[in-house]
Structure 1
């Protein structure tokens, strides 16, 4: 289970140096049905990006620098669960004048949880609290407009676009073995709706849970991919040796040799990973970055695709093989042309019991006995169990990982369930 810092009144698109703007924040669960119950201190910081000068850096590579004095009123904010919705007026400090834009990051302040002489001052939160990043804010110097009577500076309201951002960013650190591949300091970035909107445009607990776990070097998927690679090499070698044996027995120039030589049949020529109900694309991006040998297709309905594509584009530095695409897929669509894939990804997709029949049929359409279905699940209500009861008729279901209220299952088709309609 995770908690999320949410910007209910988000940062503006533009901010004038030293002029206040209001931000309203809270801390809730993924579906915002519950506030974080303990008071805590949050750290509010400004971050600026500058082009990277590291060898091999691309024009898109930047260095993020925290500006400790970027806000005039300091950076410590209090979260009070009794109030729930906390409001604060922020001002960009004069030192930010030299920058064109910045981002505001709201995160849990670690200072109260640091140890003093080996003793913890305050018990750390039981659950992880995910920080919220604003989108870049365009900075403008305050125009000097003096009144003859008061000699006070006035702000020209027409000078500023008073429009709030509608998205927030979440960052997920890559495990050490992937930073060696993609470069130190890189993180996976996903944008989501700042406020309530389409459910598909938000990240959910199971997606975060799967993202963090599947990228680990000892995850179930990592072990599976390593085993598959060994099997592919072994089968290719056996096929080559069999081909040589047939050639020797029939004659090197025989056309029969090329038609009777055994080929690798248990390993798919195309390694495709299909994500259903992908939402923001978080899990698909993580899998594509961690396993570039897979071609990942993340799918959802129309309302999710634009943001999903935006997230894929934002992570192109992690996807140098361009091995991820997004696409439309309606589970209720009939008579679709399907081919089984190697991996199916599903994260938090069984919450709506009315869609269970369509979801299960879609999983059956894109799977066979060799397909591995990875289903991330967080219990929300009893009706969700109906999906698992239906799935048992067609799949062997194995629990491979769990973390408090979240579980990861691997589903494998039973031999007798091929070409089955729900």
Structure 2
């Protein structure tokens, strides 16, 4: 189980240095059904990207932190569970003038929570559950107007210099494990944006997605071991499939609508007669169902560049998912990930199985179980590995597993709190 810092009032697209704007936030579970019920301190920091002198490092590798102004307690904010949300006016410091843009970051302050107020709670130990930080989208900085004839200490926001159009997204960062340093460089992080407010839940990060992302990228995860074994098999069989052609041709045979512009010479997604590929040259395709923000698919594509990853969902999620793929382009030099539209309710699909199916938090809606199970069956055979991240939410979810047992062997390969990772393999006919 995770808790998420959420911005209830979005940060501005543009902000004038030293002009105040309001920051409103809370701490909730993924579906906002529960608020964090313990007092704690949060750090409020302003960050800008600065060049690094480390060989091979990029501007994104180094972050300079500047404390915002207007906070009565330095950079810390008190979260009071009795109120349920926090509101504070912040100002960007004059020393940020040389920079074009910045981001605000809210994260848990490890300093123990203490207060002199009688009867108040004190947090002496770290929280039981991880609290994920929230990064605002980049804020474009504008210099303060040079007008010294007016007092500026308590003046109101000058609307002439502050555009009131708000950004409705926040950023989450997931640091890559150390074993991927050789592949992507030191200190790199995967970036995913999600809706800052409740909005469409399909555009939110859910617990199972975070759980799967953190586990699947580890060097000792089930997927890492599986990929190592199959790499050896590929060497023995001397399989050599072009990565980009593999992904393009896969779109044409998966009954998935590609939302990007097709590459010159690539097959059309509506091609009614896909050409079967011999089993010994089977394309290494990973298909994600109900991808939402695309978090899990991006993590797999980053950690295993030999896989062609296709993350799918309905229309409402695709624009944000594509934005997240683009934001991680530096971690995807092989262009081994695409975004596509896939409706589970589609009938009479003529598709071929994929090597890996990814699913995270997809069984909460019992009304979709029939369509979900049929979609999994359509895209799988006895060689397909179905990785299902699951967090128990209600009893009706068990109906999916009962039905799936008729077709799949189901193995629990990893567990954390109420979250589980299952590997499902088709039973022999």
Q: Do these two structures clear the TM 0.5 threshold for a shared fold by scoring above it? A: yes
Q: Secondary structure at the match of 1:188?
A: strand
Query: C-alpha distance in 2, partners of 1:219/1:187?
Result: 19
Structure ID, larger Rg: 1
Calculate the TM-score normalised by the size of structure 1. 0.86
CA contact (8 A) 1:40 1:78 kept: yes
Match of 1:124 among 101, 123, 126: 126
CA–CA distance in structure 2, aligned partners of residues 102 and 151 of structure 1: 23
Note the C-alpha offset of 1:268.
4.8
In the alignment, the residues of structure 1 paired with residue 45 and residue 353 of structure 2 have an alpha-carbon distance, to the nearest angstrom, of 47
Count of equivalent residues: 381
Alpha carbons of 1:178 and 1:314: their partners in 2 closer, same or farther (altered >3 Å)?
Answer: same
Q: Secondary structure, in 3 states, of the residue corresponding to 2:43?
A: strand
Q: Tell me the equivalent position of 2:199.
A: 197
- 1:269 paired to 2:267: no
Q: Deviations over 1:306-334 (max 9, x none)?
A: 10010001111111111000000000011
Aligned mate of 1:397, from 410, 418, 421: 410
Contact 1:144 1:154 in 2 (8 A): no
Q: Distance in 1 between matches of 2:422 and 2:152?
A: 69
- Whether the 8 Å CA contact 1:272–1:296 is kept in 2: the answer is yes
Offset, 1:68: 3.6
Indicate if the aligned counterparts of 1:45 and 1:104 stay in contact, CA closer than 8 A.
Answer: yes
Aligned to 2:358: 345
Q: In the superposition, relative to structure 1, how do residues 363 and 160 fare at CA in structure 2: closer, same or farther (>3 Å)?
A: same
Q: Are 2:407 and 2:426, in contact at CA under 8 Å, matched by a contact in 1? A: yes
Give yes or no for the alignment of 1:415 onto 2:428.
Answer: yes
- Aligned counterpart in structure 2 of residue 71 of structure 1, from 69, 72, 76: 69
Q: For 1:158, what is the secondary structure of its paired residue?
A: coil
Write out per-residue CA displacement over residues 223-245 of structure 1, whole angstroms, 9 at most, x where no aligned residue: 111111222333459xxxxxxxx
CA contact (8 A) 1:142 1:155 kept: no
The separation in 1 between residues aligned to 2:197 and 2:306, in whole angstroms, is: 36
Question: Residues 52 and 62 of structure 2 are in contact (CA less than 8 Å); yes or no, is this contact kept in structure 1?
Answer: no
Structure 1 residue 267: deviation in Å? Answer: 4.7
Question: How far did residue 282 of structure 1 move?
Answer: 0.3
Between 1:190-199 and 1:69-78, the stretch displaced more is: 69-78
Q: Is the 8 A contact 1:171 1:190 kept in 2?
A: yes
How is 1:2-401 mapped onto 2 (pairs within 5 angstroms)?
A: 2-51=2-51, 55-56=55-56, 61-73=59-71, 74-112=74-112, 122-145=124-147, 156-236=158-238, 267-401=280-414
SS in 2 for 1:363: helix
SS in 1 for 2:50: strand
**In 2, Cα distance between the equivalents of 1:388 and 1:287?**
24
CA RMSD, 1 decimal:
2.3
Secondary structure in 2 matching 1:373: strand
Unaligned residue ranges in structure 1 (runs of 5+): 114-120, 238-263, 417-422
Q: Which runs of 5+ in 2 are unaligned?
A: 114-122, 240-276
SS across alignment from 1:415: coil
